[in-house]
């Protein structure tokens, strides 16, 4: 079960550390199935009337402890622009590009994060917006990178794509837990990972990763899929459709 | 009832979109302009990303102008030779325009460019229309007036490559319509407008074409330029939302039908004056948005969708 941990963190600094830790966790005798969790659904289908969706994460632990769940959307390259005043107009003046921004990020926990986890553990597993470790695409460091990263996170929070608050995971008795995770209407598509951590004494002692897929379904999905795969054919069809529609539209005017 | 637009990636009320399509179609029916100059800014106001608004407006224009041309063609009001030569310039211009669009998008300045171009163009157009319609309204009270020449001769008539345009009763340099087509092609690609509101006055005042053949000929060239823009935008920027374009077209057809019936009954000068006010209001709103300190100084763009 914990092998799933080895899949996290592709080619990122600290990945080796994570990998060793994952191995250590897997190898640890008593930690085998410290936590098991699953989702009420592994697919969020975006159809034409999509207004958001919620998925229930539930599971059990082998004993008392804290549960922290992290939902991560696929990482994207994002650019943050800062407007400045130029000749009386507000224009995009400065920009900073980050290569590893999670397109969606939400955290849920059974207790406030700083009570459930030590800062070191939270940083190691990249739990919480302070530990996203956004990397600038250009090899830059310093205050500007930090400032723009903060703005990027705030913007994503405003868009509902990075959760501003930590949802409360409820325990039913001592070992069963449950939490509802909400995905807004503008949720990005792709392969998500839902990571569930079991913490004892403010340190992670077990975990599990569950996949979640967000995809467009129905005619819309086919349209957008086709538009990106066969761009030329899509362009031609878009033109043809308009031509046919325009011709049909002119019929009632015949003889006018 | 919301409809999810697959390329724009937003859900919008389908009746709002139909209404906008109908409103713009109504104006097309009344005034014979494409209405793209109103469509793109309106789509941006309701939350369609500017890049998608521009490209999908171009797609909608293909259908809207085709249905317009067919009407004018039946009445024999299309100069195909002039249209073809305008188109030569138009295709080259729209190619450059799409390239320009891609480049500005990468620089993060496409939204600023779109807004600024609209402020300038709508500002000029709105003012000219307001002045012209006010004069027309005043002239009604003072009947009479001076008869003008068909068109004035100036240095533009000394250019080489003189060509005869039978339908337009003109003998002018082919370079003029090529240059005009080129300029409108660039505008069409960058702003998602047909350019009718630039093309129509230019054809009348610069080329000296008879008013009757102007709308049909300008729409003829717009069909092909808009088709070219749609294709290139879909291919290079993937910003054409065919679903959005189709919904707008459906509304547009209804609006144009009603508009063309109304157009024959209503007083032209007063309507033109109202349209001028509408155009100026949009320009003012866009200009205001550019000069006011944004609530939000930061904006995020995602690479590759």
- Determine contact: A91 vs chain B, CB below 8 A: yes
Question: Which pLDDT score, from 0 to 100, does residue A25 have?
Answer: 46
pTM value > 0.80 = no
Task: Please identify every stretch of chain B with a pLDDT value under 50, giving residue numbers as ranges.
Answer: 145-148, 150, 305
In-domain check, residue B248: yes
pLDDT in tens, chain A (256 residues): 344 444 443 444 444 444 444 444 443 334 456 889 999 999 998 887 788 899 999 999 988 889 999 999 999 899 888 888 888 788 888 888 998 899 999 999 999 988 889 999 999 999 988 888 888 888 877 788 888 888 999 989 988 899 888 889 999 988 899 999 999 888 888 999 999 999 998 899 989 999 999 988 887 778 888 888 888 898 898 899 888 888 887 776 554 4
In-domain check, residue B298: no
In-domain check, residue B80: yes
Mark yes or no for CB contact B257/A253 under 8 Å: yes
Torsional class of B113: left (φ above 0), alpha (ψ -120 to 50), beta (otherwise):
alpha
Find the radius of gyration of the CA atoms of chain A: 23
Q: Residue B173 belongs to what domain range? A: 2-139+158-291
- What ipTM was predicted for this assembly? 0.75
| B259 alpha carbon, distance to own chain's centre | 17
Q: What is the pLDDT of residues B13-31, one digit of tens each?
A: 889 999 998 888 887 766 6
In-domain check, residue B147: no
> What's the number of domains chain B is made of?
1
Question: Which pLDDT score, from 0 to 100, does residue B305 have?
Answer: 43
In-domain check, residue B196: yes
Chain A, window 237-256: residues with a beta carbon less than 8 angstroms from a chain B beta carbon: 237-239, 241-250, 252-254, 256
- At residue A239, the 3 state secondary structure works out as helix
Residues of A whose CB is below 8 A from B11:
49-51, 185
Mark yes or no for CB contact A239/B292 under 8 Å: no
Of A105, A121, A124, nearest in space to A113 by CA: A121
Question: Which pLDDT score, from 0 to 100, does residue A23 have?
Answer: 43
Q: What is the pLDDT of residues B217-268, one digit of tens each?
A: 888 888 888 888 889 888 888 888 888 998 998 888 778 777 766 666 666 6
Residues of B whose CB is below 8 A from A228:
238, 305
Give a three-class secondary structure readout of B137-183: HHHHHCCCCCCCCCCCCCHHHHCCCEEEECCCCEEEECHHHHHHHHH
Residues of B whose CB is below 8 A from A216:
6
Ordered domains of chain A (ranges, CATH): 34-216 (2.60.40.1930), 217-256 (no CATH)
Q: What are phi and psi of A176, to 5 degrees?
A: -95, 135
Question: Which pLDDT score, from 0 to 100, does residue B304 have?
Answer: 54
Q: What is the pLDDT of residues A122-177, one digit of tens each?
A: 999 999 888 888 888 888 777 888 888 889 999 899 888 998 888 899 999 888 99
């Amino acid at each position: 079960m914990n092998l799933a941990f080895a899949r996290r963190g592709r080619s990122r600094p600290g990945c080796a550390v994570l990998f060793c830790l994952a191995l250590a966790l897997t190898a640890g005798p008593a930690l085998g199935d410290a936590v098991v969790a699953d989702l009420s659904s592994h697919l969020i289908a975006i159809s034409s009337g999509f207004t958001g969706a919620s998925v229930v994460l539930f599971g059990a632990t082998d004993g008392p402890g804290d549960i922290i769940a992290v939902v991560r959307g696929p990482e994207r390259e994002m650019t943050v622009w800062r407007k400045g005043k130029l000749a009386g107009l507000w224009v995009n003046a400065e920009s900073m590009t980050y290569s590893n921004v999670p397109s969606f990020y939400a955290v849920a926990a059974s207790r406030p994060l700083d009570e459930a986890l030590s800062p070191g553990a939270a940083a190691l597993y990249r739990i919480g917006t302070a530990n996203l470790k956004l990397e600038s695409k250009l090899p830059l460091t310093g205050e500007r990178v930090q400032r723009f990263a903060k703005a990027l996170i705030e913007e994503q929070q405003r868009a509902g794509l990075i959760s501003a608050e930590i949802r409360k995971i409820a325990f039913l008795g001592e070992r069963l837990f449950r939490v509802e995770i909400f995905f807004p209407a503008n949720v990005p598509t792709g392969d998500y990972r839902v990571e569930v951590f079991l913490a004892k004494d403010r340190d992670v002692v077990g975990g599990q990763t569950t996949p979640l897929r967000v995809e467009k379904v129905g005619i819309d999905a086919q349209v957008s899929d086709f538009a990106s795969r066969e761009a030329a054919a899509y362009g031609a069809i878009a033109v043809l459709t308009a031509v046919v529609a325009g011709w049909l539209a002119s019929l009632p005017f015949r003889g006018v | 009832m919301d409809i999810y637009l697959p390329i724009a990636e937003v859900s919008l009320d389908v009746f709002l979109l139909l209404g906008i399509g109908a409103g713009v179609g109504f104006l097309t029916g009344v005034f014979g302009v494409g209405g793209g100059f109103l469509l793109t800014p309106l789509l941006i106001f309701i939350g369609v990303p500017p890049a998608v608004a521009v490209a999908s407006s171009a797609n909608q224009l293909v259908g809207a102008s085709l249905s317009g041309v067919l009407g004018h063609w039946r009445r024999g009001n299309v100069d195909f030779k002039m249209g073809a030569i305008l188109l030569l310039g138009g295709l080259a211009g729209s190619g450059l325009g799409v390239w320009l669009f891609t480049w500005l998008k990468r620089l993060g300045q496409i939204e600023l460019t779109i807004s600024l171009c609209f402020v300038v163009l709508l500002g000029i157009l709105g003012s000219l229309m307001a002045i012209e319609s006010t004069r027309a309204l005043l002239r009604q009270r003072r009947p009479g007036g001076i008869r003008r020449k068909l068109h004035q001769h100036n240095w533009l008539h000394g250019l080489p490559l003189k060509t005869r345009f039978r339908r337009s009763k003109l003998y002018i340099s082919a370079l003029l319509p090529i240059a005009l087509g080129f300029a409108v092609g660039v505008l069409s690609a960058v702003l998602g407008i047909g350019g009718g509101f630039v093309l129509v006055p230019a054809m009348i005042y610069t080329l000296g074409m008879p008013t009757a053949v102007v709308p049909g000929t300008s729409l003829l060239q717009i069909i092909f330029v808009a088709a070219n823009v749609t294709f290139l935008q879909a291919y290079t920027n993937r910003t054409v939302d065919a679903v959005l374009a189709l919904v707008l077209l459906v509304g547009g057809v209804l609006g144009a039908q009603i508009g063309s019936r109304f157009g024959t009954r209503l007083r032209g000068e007063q309507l033109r004056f109202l349209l001028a006010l509408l155009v100026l209001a949009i320009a003012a709103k866009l200009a205001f948005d550019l000069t006011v300190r944004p609530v939000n100084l930061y904006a995020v763009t995602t690479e590759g969708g």
